[in-house]
Structures are given as structure tokens and as C-alpha cells.
Amino acid sequence: MITFFTTGKPFRGHDGIIQRNALKSWTLLHPDVEVILFGDEQGSAEVCAELGLRHEPYVERNGRVPYVKFMFARAQQIARHDYLCYSNCDIVLFKDFLRAFDLALAWKKRFLMVAQRWDTDVTEPVTFAEDGWAKKLRQFARTHGFRQHPNFIDFFLFSKGLYEGVPPLVVGYCYWDHWMVWKALSSGVPVLDASLFILPIHQNHGYSPESQRTHDSTTDAGSLRNYELCQNGKQLRSIQDSTHRITRDGRIRRTRFRRVLESAPVLKVRQLLAEKTFWVRNRLGLRRETVERVRGAPPTSLN
């Protein structure tokens, strides 16, 4: 099973709501899931007691911001399980995450699993006691949210021992997540993209003035320092650099030349060809749904 670990903001206002939503969703994945919350922010101890989480009040920081290195080292040291998942404390996960983990575990013993998130405006506590809460929230994300670019990586599921020698990167700023992908690849560990198979919900939020960050900012002091620590960009990779992906029907396929095939120029040409040949494909019945039905794959909507 999995040990989740994370750090959060003070549990008040909207931040408190979405962090509780995220943490609770992880505990519901399986009775044997372990969750570790680092930091002594306001309300952390109370939430851990309420949800049955392990609270680690101490975390090394650069000012107010936790070091990635400390959390990953400490979590791998104290985790009850051999597989760990760092997730940002605003990500809601569903049972499809656990199914993806089972598929990955049956495939290889060492891997890094990541996925694109779905940015969604969640403003209220999730009613977990309500039947169908997951289906309702997933449908809301599909209709009102959107799947973010592969550059945004909010969770890392990996085997214990992968992350040693982490530089003094800080969480909550750009680039540290790309270093994590680079580390796996440089260690010969396959990177598995589960974006087609799972729907992780990122609950949209603001940024405090103290962080000096705005949405998508890459030029604040924390991000620039992370960039320097990643050999000035040489040690950065994204989901587009994954070696494999889980298909919609649960198969694991190698992703050769993905960065080239999914680059902006190539995607533009593919879109142009699709538009120009639509009438031919329509006459021949070559719609995506038809092709996937022949292949035995489920529809492209994220079920």
C-alpha cells in the first residue's frame, strides 16, 4: 500500500477547506493508506487528530517555505509502506488512482507515476458521507474544469529509496517538480504518465502576498533559486518526457518521441490535418468513437 506525505498552509478559510478535502480523499482510497502531514501550521495538529493522520510538526524551511529535501528524506525514513506519494495538499484523488497504482505495481517494482491535474473551482467542503460524492465531483471537474498542461506536476508516486541526494529545493515554487522527473529518468527509473487513466482534481486557490507568487509565475525569488539548483535548467523534465503511459483501457505503453509528437508545431499541423480531412473521415465513419470501439477501448470521456 501507499504512504502519502505533504505539507500545507494554515487550515483556515478557503485553504482550510480544500486541504481537508484533499487529505480526506486520500484516506478513503484504502483502509491501509498512511498519510503524513509535515509542518506546524495553524490547525494542522487538529486536522491530523480528526482524520487519523501522522503529524510531523517539524520541517526544515527556507524562511517560511519547507525544503523538499527534508520531507522526502524523512518520509522515506519513517514511512510504513515501500511506496510513497508526495502530493500537494490541494489534490483530490479517487479510486482510479489506486487502480493505476495496482497496474504499475504489476508492471514493475521501481517506477515514478505522475499525471496531469484537472484545475477546478472547489469552494465548499466535499460531502464525503454522501453516496456518489466522487462521481458528482468528477463530473463537475469534467464540465467546469480543465486538464492542465504537462508542465504542472502535483503528485509523485514512487518506490522507497528513489529520492536521495535531493538539492535544497523549496516546495510551492516552480521547477522543483521537474527536477523530480529528471531524477527518476537519470536513475534509470521509468516514468509512467497516468493522465489518460486517472482524474486528479486540483482545487484552484490564490497565493498569499508573502509568497511573492502569482499564478504560473516563474520569476519570483523562490522559483529562480530552484532553477539555479537544477543546474540552471539542465536537470528539468516534465510529464512530456515520460517513458511510458497508462492507456484509457489500462494498458501500459512506451511513449517514444512524445516530446516531439506533442510539441506545439506538430500539434498545430495535426489539428490542421484533422480539420482539412474531417469531411472524408466523416463520410468513411472514421470518428474517434468508432475507432476506439473497434479497438475495444472505452470512450474518450474520463470515466
* pLDDT recorded at residue 303: 37
* pLDDT recorded at residue 206: 78
Comparing 256 with 73, the larger pLDDT belongs to 73
User: Is 273 a residue whose pLDDT tops 60?
Assistant: yes
User: Is 295 a residue whose pLDDT tops 90?
Assistant: no
User: Is 283 a residue whose pLDDT tops 90?
Assistant: no
For 231-245, letters b (16+ CB in 10 Å) and e give: eeeebbbbbbbbbbb
User: Is 263 a residue whose pLDDT tops 50?
Assistant: no
Average pLDDT over residues 283-293: 54
Average pLDDT over residues 120-146: 97
Average pLDDT over residues 84-102: 98
How high is the mean pLDDT of the chain?
Answer: 89
Asked whether the beta carbons of 236 and 230 are under 8 A apart, the reply is yes
Asked whether the beta carbons of 159 and 110 are under 8 A apart, the reply is yes
- Pairing mode of beta strands 244-246, 252-254: antiparallel
Residue 300 burial by CB count (10 A; 0-12/13-18/19+): exposed, middle or buried? exposed
Total Cβ atoms within 10 A of residue 60: 14
* pLDDT recorded at residue 257: 62
CA 84 – CA 87 distance, rounded (Å): 10
Torsion of CA 127, 128, 131, 134, to 10 degrees: 100
Strand order in the sheet with 146-147: 91-92, 201-203, 118-120, 146-147
Q: What percent of the chain has pLDDT over 90?
A: 79
Distance linking the first and last C-alpha atoms of the chain: 24
Phi, psi of 56 (to 5 degrees): -115, 90
User: Is 219 a residue whose pLDDT tops 70?
Assistant: yes
* pLDDT recorded at residue 205: 87
50-87 tens-digit pLDDT: 999 999 999 999 999 999 999 999 999 999 999 999 99
* pLDDT recorded at residue 208: 53
Total Cβ atoms within 10 A of residue 148: 17
| Residue that is written with C-alpha cell 477501448 in the block | 297
DSSP-assigned letters across all residues of 18-30:
HHHHHHHHHHTS-
* pLDDT recorded at residue 299: 39
180-213 tens-digit pLDDT: 999 999 999 999 999 999 999 999 987 654 544 4
Average pLDDT over residues 221-233: 96
User: Is 8 a residue whose pLDDT tops 50?
Assistant: yes
Q: What share of the chain is helix, strand, coil (3-state, %, to 5)?
A: 40, 15, 45
User: Is 277 a residue whose pLDDT tops 80?
Assistant: no
DSSP-assigned letters across all residues of 53-98:
PEEE----EETTEEBHHHHHHHHHHH-SSSEEEEE-TTEE--HHHH
Reading the block at residue 234, the C-alpha cell is 539542465
The SS3 of residue 225 is: helix
User: Is 276 a residue whose pLDDT tops 70?
Assistant: no
pLDDT band at 157 (very low <50, low <70, confident <90, very high): very high
For domain 2-253, give the CATH superfamily.
Spore Coat Polysaccharide Biosynthesis Protein SpsA; Chain A (3.90.550.10)
Q: pTM for the whole thing? A: 0.85
Domain coordinates of the chain in residue numbers? 2-253, 263-295
The SS3 of residue 188 is: coil
Q: Which residues is 159 bridged to in the sheet?
A: 83
